[in-house]
Amino acid sequence: MKFTQLILLFSLTVFQGFAQAPSFNFTKSEVEANLKYIASDELGGRRTGSVGEQKAAQFIAKSLRDYGVRTAPGYENYFQNVPFANILPPTSGEFVIGKESFKIGDNLLIINGKDIDKSLEVVFAGNGWVDETSGLDDYKGLDVKGKIVVVVTGLPDANSPMDVFNSMKRKQELAAERGALALIETYKIALPWPFALNYFGKERMELSKPADPNNSIVYGWALEKTPGTLSPNLNSSKTTAQLKIKAGPVQQIQASNVIGIIEGTDENLRNEYILLSAHHDHVGIGKQGGAAFTPQDSIFNGARDNGIGTVALMAAAKHLAANPPKRSVLILACTAEEMGMLGSSWYAENPAVPLENTVFNLNTDGAGYNSTAHFNVIGKGLTNVDDELEAAGKAAGLAMLGDPAPEQNLYERSDNISFAAKGIPAVDFAPGITEMGEEVFKYYHQAADNADSINYDYLLKFCEAYTLAALKIANKTGKIEWTKEGEKYRK
């Protein structure tokens, strides 16, 4: 072997050695600076619709432009406006039936209200449920048009708090479809009444949509002081009640999803999109008297939730814009995750590229971390990209874990569910949690979730792992799909 060949061989080996270790076009100081801005007091906890949240969206959009990420087809800029209605529950009102009076603030909670002041006939309708498969119909033979329907919370065989919460919307629809003016549920939930008042009686945000007649009934819960007052055993077959509600004010609010596109390099695959998502909103500023309020710090900076995810999304956008993969990539920084994944649901109803071309969603959001050696895939096993995810983590020095708390239903508690519900294979890529313990709850939705408590070596690794995962999935050979375990989401 000649000397020149030896040199050539040596340099090839060196070159390959370098090529194998992934390199990125973002640095630790850059991801650190991004997180420190996103989680700064200036952004005020990024509550949906707030000035601070708008600043976060603008910062992300400006960064996408700097990275060379393009706007979506038909979009003038990187923003997708999402309209919200901020709804304050009624603060006064009364439901008087027979001798019993139910008052707002005491034993009556009106969750959906409109102005009403009428004496109306009352119809009792079991649980107010209709199930076509089992043939159950609590409305069978009843005329509820223009009347108040009184039912019991939950379903005949299912009245855990979750069952109750999951049935609320459908019950209102069932009553409204039949022409009822109000639906009052007798409160029979194994949760203290003050919890219900606190949780469902606070202001909330909904996506603004054209007036929906099914949403326009008065709906609430009444707590019986004397058991049986609100039961169908009332002697009179024709009971009337007085219902007087003054609806709370509704405020229209705008917020933004931030959307960008990186076009794929493979002409056969470029029509397929990998959707990378992270929510940029958080919960804002704590109120005096609120559970997590402290006089020292009332700003919920959300460095972990979801500053880390937002920064990881930005890092991936920067790297992929300079190193585009075979498939195209859609960057989506969502608003209003904390309001119930409303920004991602809005996107799923108003996509910038057709959902049928969106082949995978790699969301990144988390509650925090207690391990700097790991990342978690919420939805591990559900799709056929676990190998890519695991390899990406390994290359960045992080080991992959699955869902740290299956009983908490985390898969359905972040933006990935908005896409999974449309049949798009989706997972959530989250910072490392080996157990849901003190180290996580110390920061989760607390004012303590600040940028100064973040391990920035870990943040860099996490950003690298997420970026590589996106790259590997976008370059994956063959179809990306649900596994048998994830089949229930297949459409």
Which residues form the interface with Zn ion (CB under 5 A)? 305
Q: Pairing between strand 273-279 and 358-364?
A: parallel
Contact criterion met (CB below 8 Å) for 189 and 196: yes
Q: How far does Cα 255 stand from its chain's mean position?
A: 15
Least distance from Zn ion to the Cβ atom of residue 436, Å: 14
**CA distances for 212 relative to 66, 182, 215, 216, angstroms:** 42, 15, 5, 7
Cα–Cα–Cα angle for 420, 216, 223, rounded to 5 degrees: 90
Complex with Zn ion: residue 138 or 305, whichever CB lies closer: 305
For CA atoms 45, 46, 50, 54, the dihedral sign is positive
Q: Amino acid identity of 64?
A: L
Closest C-alpha among 367, 385, 366 to residue 469: 385
Contact criterion met (CB below 8 Å) for 381 and 388: no
**CA distances for 24 relative to 76, 315, 362, angstroms:** 29, 9, 19
Least distance from Zn ion to the Cβ atom of residue 469, Å: 21
**CA distances for 317 relative to 142, 279, 320, angstroms:** 57, 15, 5
CA Rg value for the chain: 26
Least distance from Zn ion to the Cβ atom of residue 410, Å: 11
Contact criterion met (CB below 8 Å) for 140 and 150: no
Which residue's CB comes closest to Zn ion? 305
Which DSSP string do the residues of 102-161 spell out, in sequence order?
EEBTTTEEEEE---EEEEEEEEE-TT--EETTTTEETTTT---TTSEEEEESSBTTB-SH
451 backbone dihedrals φ, ψ, rounded to 5°: -65, -25
Least distance from Zn ion to the Cβ atom of residue 279, Å: 8
Beta-bridge mates of residue 27: none
Calculate helix-pair angle for 309-322, 456-474, nearest 10 degrees: 50
Which tokens sit at 314? 């930005």
Complex with Zn ion: residue 149 or 341, whichever CB lies closer: 341
Complex with Zn ion: residue 337 or 388, whichever CB lies closer: 337
Complex with Zn ion: residue 57 or 339, whichever CB lies closer: 339
Which tokens sit at 420? 């999974």
Complex with Zn ion: residue 172 or 361, whichever CB lies closer: 361
The helix/strand/coil state of 213 is helix
Complex with Zn ion: residue 143 or 412, whichever CB lies closer: 412
Least distance from Zn ion to the Cβ atom of residue 60, Å: 18
Least distance from Zn ion to the Cβ atom of residue 340, Å: 11
* Residue 432: other Cβ atoms inside 10 A: 23
Q: Tally the C-alpha atoms within 13 A of residue 127's C-alpha that lie toward its C-beta.
A: 19
Least distance from Zn ion to the Cβ atom of residue 338, Å: 5
Complex with Zn ion: residue 138 or 365, whichever CB lies closer: 365
CA-CA distance, 242 to 248, in Å (whole number)?
19
Least distance from Zn ion to the Cβ atom of residue 282, Å: 7
Complex with Zn ion: residue 113 or 307, whichever CB lies closer: 307
Complex with Zn ion: residue 93 or 404, whichever CB lies closer: 404
Least distance from Zn ion to the Cβ atom of residue 195, Å: 20
Least distance from Zn ion to the Cβ atom of residue 305, Å: 4
Complex with Zn ion: residue 305 or 415, whichever CB lies closer: 305
Least distance from Zn ion to the Cβ atom of residue 438, Å: 18
Contact criterion met (CB below 8 Å) for 172 and 215: yes
Complex with Zn ion: residue 84 or 300, whichever CB lies closer: 300
Least distance from Zn ion to the Cβ atom of residue 339, Å: 10
Complex with Zn ion: residue 147 or 282, whichever CB lies closer: 282
Per DSSP, helices labelled H in 201-336 are: 309-322
CA-CA distance, 218 to 183, in Å (whole number)?
6
